[in-house]
């Protein structure tokens, strides 16, 4: 490597290239970088001259990266992370750190998990800035690209195996925070409760009922629905909503049944007059997992935040068992 050649490159252009690869739009990239579109276009022209490639082609759907740009996009996140770590202090002092960490979490984690670790984090590191976002189907990609530091998501477990790490994208590491099971909620005066009291509660009755479902990661079906489909059965999903609290409210004001993680069911029952029922057939448990990118494993601050989250959640759920 000839360092004198590297010295002629404006490293800020690499940041701009990464943002353009993520956004595929000059307008959106300029907004993220807080610069004008004209300034960003000039930077893109400098990038093209420096790298000897057009990098992007304009299409009706935005910027399409060239083959060379796609190849660069595979290396840039790790390279930029390494450069970023060069700017950090050699150690992480929680009490004085002003670093910023971002999280993407499934909605249920805001109620069931974040209360257990947000206090310990900010008590020991009061000047941290913590940004959280709702987990979506694009959140794993955001972790890969370095836009998000941590993810907390729910993943279904196979009865005979641990968390299916072979399905995680390259570079994504994980740690299971706790496991949960699926239960059902109905309103407290639901006519079904009389039948259950008489001993009538099974899969056939469950499937005959109308269900309210939460749409997760853009999907209307959960693993439960695919499991039932493999057996030749289907739930009668009457209503689909984007969040757990909305589903709990609908359940409390209708005859619909709501299937959800047991940990969130407890919080829903504090807000609405709901009765909890067991799922009337065997089904795999659910794991709440912490996700991050392996490129951050050598970052002391990242390690500290990860360890506080894992210890705090483990202590909280150990005390509940």
pLDDT digits (tens, 9 = 90+) for 258-272: 999 998 999 899 999
pLDDT value for 1 = 53
Q: For residue 25, give the 3-state DSSP assignment.
A: coil
pLDDT value for 148 = 94
User: Residues of the chain whose pLDDT is less than 50?
Assistant: 158-163, 165
pLDDT value for 44 = 92
pLDDT value for 79 = 85
pLDDT value for 48 = 92
**Cβ–Cβ under 8 Å, residues 20 and 26:** yes
pLDDT value for 64 = 93
pLDDT value for 158 = 47
Which tens digit of pLDDT belongs to each residue from 12-68?
Answer: 899 999 999 999 999 999 999 999 999 999 999 999 998 899 999 999 888 999 999
**Cβ–Cβ under 8 Å, residues 103 and 132:** yes
**Cβ–Cβ under 8 Å, residues 252 and 274:** yes
Task: Specify the DSSP element, H or E, that contains 6.
Answer: helix 3-6
Instruction: Count Cβ atoms below 10 Å from residue 304 Cβ, excluding itself.
Output: 21
Q: Which domains does the chain have, with CATH numbers?
A: 3-86 (1.10.10.10), 100-180+287-318 (3.40.190.10), 182-284 (3.40.190.10)
Q: What share of the chain is helix, strand, coil (3-state, %, to 5)?
A: 45, 25, 30
């Amino acid at each position: 490597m000839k360092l004198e050649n590297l010295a002629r490159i404006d490293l800020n252009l690499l940041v701009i290239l990464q943002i353009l690869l993520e956004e595929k739009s000059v307008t959106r990239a300029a907004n993220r970088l807080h610069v004008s579109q004209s300034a960003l276009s000039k930077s893109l022209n400098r990038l093209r001259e420096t790298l000897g490639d057009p990098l992007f082609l304009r299409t009706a759907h935005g910027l399409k990266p060239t083959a060379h740009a796609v190849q660069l996009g595979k290396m840039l996140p790790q390279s930029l992370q390494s450069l970023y770590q060069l700017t950090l202090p050699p150690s992480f002092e929680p009490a004085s750190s002003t670093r910023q960490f971002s999280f993407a979490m499934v909605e249920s984690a805001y109620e069931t998990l974040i209360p257990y670790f947000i206090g310990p984090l900010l008590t020991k590191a009061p000047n941290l800035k913590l940004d959280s976002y709702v987990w979506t189907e694009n959140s794993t990609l955001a972790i890969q690209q370095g836009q998000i530091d941590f993810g907390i998501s729910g993943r279904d477990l196979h009865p005979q195996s641990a968390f299916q790490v072979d399905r995680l994208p390259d570079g994504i590491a994980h740690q299971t925070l706790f496991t949960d099971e699926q239960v059902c909620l109905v309103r407290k005066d639901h006519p079904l409760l009389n039948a259950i009291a008489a001993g009538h509660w099974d899969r056939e009755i469950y499937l005959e009922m109308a269900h309210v479902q939460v749409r997760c990661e853009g999907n209307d079906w959960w693993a439960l629905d695919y499991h039932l489909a493999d057996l030749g059965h289907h739930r009668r999903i009457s209503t689909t909503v984007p969040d757990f609290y909305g589903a709990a409210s609908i359940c409390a004001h209708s005859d619909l049944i709501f299937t959800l993680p047991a940990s969130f069911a407890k919080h829903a029952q504090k807000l609405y007059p709901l009765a909890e029922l067991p799922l009337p057939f065997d089904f795999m448990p659910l794991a709440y997992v912490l996700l991050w990118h392996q490129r951050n494993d050598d970052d002391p601050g990242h390690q500290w935040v990860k360890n506080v989250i894992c210890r705090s959640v483990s202590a909280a759920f150990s005390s509940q068992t």
